[in-house]
Amino acid sequence: MTIQWFADWLLPVGWGLYIALLVGWIILQKRGPVATLSWILLLGALPVLGFIVYYYFGPQRLRRYRLRRLRSRAALSAQEASAQQQEAGQRLPAAWYLLSRLGTVTSDAPLSTAHSATLLVGGETKFKLLLADIREAQQHIHLEYYIYEPDITGRELLDALVAKAREGVTVRLLLDALGSVRTHRRFLAPLLQAGGEVAYFHDPRIGRRLRPVINFRTHRKIVVIDGRVGYTGGINVTDDGHEARSKNAHRDVHLRLQGGVVRWLQMVFLEDWLYATDQRQPPLEEMDVLLPACEPGRIRSQILHSGPNDERESIHRVWVAAIQNARRRVWITTPYFVPTEPGMMALTSAAMRGVDVRVLVPERSDSLIVTAAARSYYDELLAAGAKIWECPGNMLHAKTMLVDADGSWIGTANFDNRSLSLNFEVCAMVFHAPLAAEMSALFEELLLGSRQIEIRRPQTWPRRLFEAGMRLLSPLL
């Protein structure tokens, strides 16, 4: 009787309460309808396992109120540079000017200028220049990386930082706690002993907070030296990104900037540093050193940043707007291509109106699931007139976009939901024809060794089902 009563009454009632509480909890997150429904279906189908997965990996609310004072300082810096920004804006075509305004409203970082914007192809080139700049540092060196490995490349960079810290230069190193999980404080002890500072972003270990942060990683790669030289792009600190040290090194690019735009890269680092270390804003006299005034340059540029704490989704919005306004071309390089619905609509619409839309992805990324999800979008893109290439060999890890003759984007964000919604990302938007020409030449060079996907061969039923299933999970990837 007891078992029958349990089966007839208690189990259905308990199941109903579980589903009701579950639906309410997820809906209150106010995420996208597709992602919300995906999580509800997952948790409903797997009541215990699904709850555990959602608890650790599901969407969370992240607020960073302590950064507002730093934002107000950024506003003051913007006023100080207003003449420079107005001059830069006046020289922009109308379409680019409106795009830069969108970036300003969504990123709180206004249009600025640079004296130089150097494209760095491969880790060997990047680290050679970076180490040279570090040796010339006089005041401070700020670094933020998703992956920092304790290998040859990591040791070489650490030794350079230790040497500068011993000279009295302020060295701050911010690492993502999950991406750099192998880089323990024991490895970094020489830097700490020399007076350097180290912090970890979002420790995912159980017990560190009520609900561990597994998502919400800082995927940013930022270096700022003396507030005047800045680096960003896709290259992490690892032998896997250094072609002279690994035969399987990723094919990647980075950007070295000099000039006023660097202080907005500095702002991104400082906010992340204060958040990770739970510190207050530095005194104004220190901010004056960290954000030095620079003479206007000729290269119009802007720093975009986005993260799960900011619903404005700056990088996502600017990318979609740029694609929608493109007249001649949209060339995208990304290791993970799992477009959002607005991104997919913008790409197919651009292709349909005759824009040269090209997407270059790895033949095999380091995730079978993401590769399958990406291929599920091919048929729709090809039908709209877009062109797709798969790059074989070492993994293509560059994250770039070219729009028309002089619009370039280089940064840390992939063309996928995780980068645009769940990770902290940063991207440099540069309006400069010579840089766009360099990126265009590199893109076409990569195409020479890649396979164009013109007509997809009929796929087996299990493979089609797998790709379609991974596409269904794309809001969660």
For 144, 148, 217, 301, 415, the CA distances from 174, given in Å and listed in that order, are 5, 10, 12, 25, 24
The CA-based angle 112-78-170, given to 5 degrees, is 85
* Beta-strand relationship, 407-411 and 400-403: antiparallel
Contacts of 470 (CB under 8 A, 6+ apart): 369, 370, 372, 373, 376, 477
Please give the mean pLDDT across all residues of the chain: 84
pLDDT digits (tens, 9 = 90+) for 181-212: 899 889 999 999 999 999 999 876 544 554 55
The CA-based angle 326-443-314, given to 5 degrees, is 45
Domain ranges of the chain: 2-57, 65-91+115-297, 314-476
For residues 419 and 425, what is the distance between their CA atoms, to the nearest angstrom? 7
- Catalytic position from the list 133, 404, 406, 416: 404
- Catalytic position from the list 219, 254, 305, 316: 219
- Catalytic position from the list 397, 406, 416, 432: 397
Res. 386: pLDDT tops 70: yes
CATH architecture of structural domain 314-476: 2-Layer Sandwich (3.30)
**Is it true that 65-91+115-297 and 314-476 share their CATH fold?**
yes
115 classed as catalytic? no
For residues 173 and 188, what is the distance between their CA atoms, to the nearest angstrom? 10
Fold held by 65-91+115-297: Endonuclease; Chain A (3.30.870)
Res. 29: pLDDT tops 70: no
140 classed as catalytic? no
399 classed as catalytic? yes
- Between 323 and 310, the more confident residue is 323
Mean pLDDT of 27-56: 64
> What does residue 33 show for φ and ψ, rounded to 5 degrees?
-55, -40
The two structure tokens encoding residue 263: 């202080």
Burial class (CB in 10 A: 0-12, 13-18, 19+), 354: exposed
- Catalytic position from the list 142, 176, 202, 226: 226
219 classed as catalytic? yes
pLDDT of residue 80: 45
Which range, of 24-28, 145-149, 271-275, averages the lowest pLDDT?
A: 24-28
Please report which confidence band the pLDDT of residue 65 belongs to, taking 50, 70 and 90 as the band edges.
very low
For residues 181 and 150, what is the distance between their CA atoms, to the nearest angstrom? 10
- Catalytic position from the list 126, 142, 399, 432: 399
Q: Tell me the sheet residues that pair with 431.
A: 300, 407
For residues 99 and 111, what is the distance between their CA atoms, to the nearest angstrom? 10
Res. 174: pLDDT tops 50: yes
Res. 379: pLDDT tops 70: yes
pLDDT digits (tens, 9 = 90+) for 285-294: 688 889 888 8
pLDDT digits (tens, 9 = 90+) for 444-474: 999 999 999 986 655 665 666 555 555 555 5
404 classed as catalytic? yes
- Catalytic position from the list 164, 202, 221, 254: 221
In 3D space, the residue among 306, 297, 219 whose CA is nearest the CA of residue 261 turns out to be: 297
Share of the chain above pLDDT 90, in %: 60
Mean pLDDT of 298-319: 94
Instruction: Write down the pTM of the prediction.
Output: 0.86
